[in-house]
Amino acid sequence: MPNSSPIGIFDSGIGGLTLAHAITELMPNEPIIYFGDTAHLPYGDKSATAIQAYSVKICNLLLEKNCKLILIACNSASAAAYDLVKAYVGTKAIVVNVIDPVIQFLDQHWSGKMLGLIGTKQTVNSGIYSQKAEALRKDIHIKSLATPLLAPMIEEGFFNHTISEQIIKENLLQPVLQNIEGLILGCTHYPLIKKQIDQFYQGRVDVIDTSLIVANEIKRILESEDLLNKGKAGDRQFFVSDYTDSFEKSTQIFFGETIKLTQFPIWDW
């Protein structure tokens, strides 16, 4: 596949734009095709079977657009659909999820530590982070808490706000998250509330921003495969399965700049 082929990124909504932005900052020449499945969000309360069906449909679009790498920019979809997507895509593109790069990071930096994780019900109930951390045999323990109010709150623009401060505080004070040394942000929405989480912990707990970890891993993979775009800066295209004006306005919150969303027809979904 050509170096100039795009990176494909998909998420249940616009939360994955935090990752798209991190990738753009790190690799500004890389063309990007983003798909937010806004018609079906949030994935966090969907069944694994439904998430798998949505993921395969989206991958068809990204493969049609000749993506060299597909990033499942959603923890729920990474937990539920990664193996299926990887098998489905085969050798047509590299497939990356948002969980394995974080596990590699924990392997290198967090041996013998007690960590907390916040994420959607789907991600937490899958137990995937705990299972993968345990398999490292590095005495890493993860205590997980489902925080279903946080992603919708962020999607609606309620962060850096007294309402979000109270909801964040209520979650982080839960008994399961006490006596941790680090907190994994197990949802691509959550980098947008990292500042408020940092303020809550006042330096007592390290907050692990997964978007930066995943962006760095994608750069490493493209370098190792000699697939970095060496030409001029590529185009960025953003698609959603359901379009609203307010949704397009809120993309500025996630991406740091105003972007144009295009509705992609999904009449057979």
Select from 40, 123, 116, 30 the least CA-distant residue to 71: 30
CB distance 84 to 99 below 8 Å = no
pLDDT number for residue 247: 78
Which residues are annotated as catalytic? 74, 187
* Angle, CA 167 vertex, CA 71 and CA 76 arms, to 5°: 25
- Distant-in-sequence, close-in-space partners of 185: CB < 8 Å, separation ≥ 6: 118, 191, 194, 197, 207, 208, 209, 210
Q: Which residues of the chain have pLDDT under 70?
A: 265-269
- What global pTM score does this model have? 0.92
pLDDT number for residue 258: 86
pLDDT number for residue 221: 98
Task: Give the tens place of pLDDT for each residue, 61-87.
Answer: 999 999 999 999 999 999 999 999 999
pLDDT number for residue 155: 79
